[in-house]
Amino acid sequence: MPVVLDPDAAAVLAALRAAGRPPYETLTPAEAREWYLKAREVANPAPPPLASVHAMTVPGPAGAIPVRIYTPLTLRKADGMAPCLVFFHGGGWVIGDLDSHDVVCRTLAAEGEMIVIAVDYRLAPEHKFPAAIDDALAATRWIADNAVALNIDANRIVVGGDSAGGNLAAIVAIDARQHGPKLAGQLLIYPATDFRMTHPSHSEPETDCLLTHNVIRWFRDHYLNGAADVDNWRASPARVDDLAGLPPAYVITAGADPLRDEGDEYADRLRDAGVAVSNKTYPGQFHGFITMGKILPRANDALHDIGAWLKALG
């Protein structure tokens, strides 16, 4: 059955097309980053008040990694320590930064009543695969190793992200199964899990909007070093045969999203492997909707639902 955008999503898509934003694949990465940041002014809702937001850096394999720490007004604590979400922003490993997802992180901190630490990992094509993964792993390990100093409960660390960030979160969770730290959960918001891109949703005309089929290939070609990387599980977590023993997952997919089928399939495989999975599809939404709460009410609903899941983890 063809995907039908809900009225709000359809209106937003029409407005974006009318505004004349050039397709990302016709731009340089630097130009695409500028356009992506401009969009947040139109789409991001007002952020909730927080107790504090501060920047710092953590050590990484190629130097300091910038992070931003969000502490909400209401913070769940056990023995004085709070849960933490380590968040990786989306943007195809090429665009996006701490500012592009600032309101999302503020909202998740408030909704989940937990500390959120956003990680500004290195971007392609300046830093190709696996630079982003190496930074994500290094930041997560450093946060776990320094949990007490950060007032974080090392037993309640969740990794998460949207799109490319969901890809990084899934990979960190798989790596941590063997190398640590022990994670309490993984939040995968319309994650990219399979660079083969052979699922039906990658060729449906109804999913060729906003995150178009062409721009996905543009992101892939900037990020990966070549065809040999496609089947590397550190690029495509779906290539991992055994998903048993991974932390509980919350997987969100969108109906009009080229990544829909691979996200749903990954959730099913996690569930089949015995992982506790909550899986929710937003049928009338396109890829990227989660950041657009000012113009898409369903984005705010989704962030509220994520907050409820995070609190249910303990």
Check 101, 199, 222, 287 and give the catalytic one. Answer: 287
Check 202, 257, 261, 278 and give the catalytic one. Answer: 257
Cα atoms in the 13 Å half-sphere on the side-chain side of 244:
3
Check 101, 135, 162, 163 and give the catalytic one. Answer: 163
How many other C-beta atoms can be found within 10 angstroms of the C-beta atom of residue 20? Answer: 6
Q: Which DSSP string do the residues of 106-148 spell out, in sequence order?
A: HHHHHHHTSEEEEE----TTTS-TTHHHHHHHHHHHHHHHTTT
- Going from the C-alpha of 76 to that of each of 53, 79, 86, 313, the distances in angstroms are 17, 10, 16, 12
Residue 150 structure tokens: 């950060």
Quick check: is 213 catalytic?
A: no
Quick check: is 257 catalytic?
A: yes
Buried residues in 73-90 as b, exposed as e (16+ CB within 10 A):
eebbeeeebbbbbbbbbb
Do you find a cis peptide bond into 125, omega within 30 degrees of 0?
yes
Quick check: is 179 catalytic?
A: no
Residue 287 structure tokens: 């890829």
Active site residues: 163, 257, 287
